[in-house]
Amino acid sequence: MRDVVRSLVRILEAGREALVCQVVETRGSTPQKAGALMVVEPEGGQVGTLGGGCVENEVKQRAIRQLGSTGAVLQSFVLDHDYAWADGLICGGKMVTLVESMRGPEPLRYFNSLLDHFERGDGFTEAIVVEPERAGLSRIGARFLVGPSGELAAAWPEVTPPEAVRSRVPAPADRPRPEVRGGIAWIAQWPRVRLVIVGAGHVGQAVANLAAEADFDVWVVDDRAQFANASRFPSAQKILVGPIEDVLKGLEMTPQTYALIVTRGHGHDQEALQHLAPTSAPYVGLIGSRRKIRLIFESLMESGISASDLDRVAAPVGLDIGSQSVIEIAVSVVAELIARRNLGPKGLAQRPGMRIDA
């Protein structure tokens, strides 16, 4: 979605018209969930997706008919209609989209602010009016951007927000699900998770590529500049080269920081885990055989690391999909990272003795 907003801002900055199509409500099984965004240009090009297939195409065709018009339009699709049969969308769900033609400085200011919040990665909530009478406004499609601390950051059009928006909005860090309440669609963008990969070898490289595609901010730590560099990790936000223990000591671990240990050797794994296990990072994963992990845990407990700190470590790391190759290992690891991010502690694969309430 961040890339779609970037494209939208570029279109508006050029003074061109853009058709903004967004899913604001879903029920049941649908190809995309509330928040999905698609931007259609007057020539018919598009950025983003609402799930593809017939629904997306119909939204696009209806949107093009709104070129040059003002005001937003709601569209509802029940995915058991005959027209959905060919695309395999007979899933019984309902999807509501909001479509509006935008141009000029006002929407540009709003979406510039939205993009700024995306880039900062600290989370935000969009409040989009879908039932004006219930919301206490006269305009459908009015948008209000609420920052991570509940402050109003932007509005389009620039009108006084309804009382529901001025009152407390659930913090995005609480990971609320999209909902329609009081005539307003509430869509939270959760704070972006930083993934610290300790080890710049083949597995670390493969995980970094996949994790960046899944919208993690990837940081790489290694003591070898010939491995930890921008040519091998083009999608990394930051690459830190130096003695592993020294680098990790200087890192701030927050509730939005995950750590993955995939170094080249037993000793470096133990060194990294000794520092990371007691931190506040909600996810610490360690690659390796069960025998290697048992030996590392026993050694760390002898050195004073508590059993409770080690119990929360995901080891062996990743979901069990029978991985053999490097890319399969990376898929299993990133799948677990996504599950932890989206589902909380219970998204982790359960392992003997592991606590999942951390």
The reported pLDDT for the residue numbered 158 is 85
The reported pLDDT for the residue numbered 125 is 94
**Rounded distance between C-alpha atoms, residue 255 and residue 49, angstroms:** 31
Residue type, 71: G
**Rounded distance between C-alpha atoms, residue 49 and residue 36, angstroms:** 7
Segments in the chain forming alpha helices (H): 2-13, 53-64, 105-120, 132-135, 163-166, 202-213, 244-249, 266-276, 290-302, 307-311, 326-343
Cis status, amide bond into 178, omega within 30 of 0 = no
End-to-end CA distance of the chain: 29
The reported pLDDT for the residue numbered 83 is 47
Q: What is the pTM of this model?
A: 0.82
Q: Fold for 194-347, please state it.
A: Rossmann fold (3.40.50)
The reported pLDDT for the residue numbered 91 is 55
The reported pLDDT for the residue numbered 355 is 52
The backbone torsions φ and ψ at residue 197, rounded to the nearest 5 degrees and listed phi first, read: -100, 115
Half-sphere exposure of 336 (CA within 13 A, CB side): 28
| Nearest Cα to Cα of residue 231 among 264, 260, 210, 205 | 205
The reported pLDDT for the residue numbered 146 is 94
The reported pLDDT for the residue numbered 170 is 74
**Rounded distance between C-alpha atoms, residue 33 and residue 27, angstroms:** 9
**Rounded distance between C-alpha atoms, residue 351 and residue 315, angstroms:** 8
Q: Structural domain boundaries of the chain?
A: 1-103, 105-191, 194-347
Point out the residues of the chain with pLDDT beneath 70. Answer: 80-92, 168, 350-358
